[in-house]
């Protein structure tokens, strides 16, 4: 690494400022418009994400409402199971 560093510092020269500005301008044109805050594509993507989130919240609210309206808010699975009680008095120490 030291050899590469010394080669760059000894024979390298700084780039022309105008060429750097030109490259910077071209790179700005190549940006993804969905990531540029305030662009139409960015706003459209945010609106789509918000719509999906709203749909998800609505579906969950309807699901919760239906569960509560059906009776047991914790579900019917617990009521249908045969829960075997444990006999804690069964000692094998005798």
The answer to whether the pTM exceeds 0.75 is no
Measured distance CA(32)–CA(78) in Å, rounded: 51
The pLDDT of residue 52: 97
Percent of the chain as helix, strand, coil, to the nearest 5: 65, 0, 35
Q: Which residue has the tokens 């609210």?
A: 61
Task: Say how far apart CA 38 and CA 40 lie, in whole Å.
Answer: 7
Percent of the chain at pLDDT exceeding 70: 74
What is the average per-residue pLDDT within 13-41? Answer: 86
- The SS3 of residue 86 is coil
pLDDT at 94: 54
- Indicate the pLDDT class of residue 30, thresholds 50, 70 and 90: confident
């Amino acid at each position: 690494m030291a050899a590469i560093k010394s080669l760059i510092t000894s024979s390298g020269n700084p780039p022309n400022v105008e060429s750097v500005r030109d490259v910077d301008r071209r790179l700005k044109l190549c940006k993804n418009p969905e990531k540029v805050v305030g662009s139409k594509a960015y706003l459209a993507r945010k609106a789509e994400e918000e719509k999906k989130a709203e749909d998800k919240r609505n579906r969950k609210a309807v699901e919760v409402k239906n569960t509560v309206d059906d009776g047991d808010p914790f579900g019917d699975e617990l009521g249908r199971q045969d829960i075997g009680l444990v006999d804690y008095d069964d000692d094998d120490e005798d």
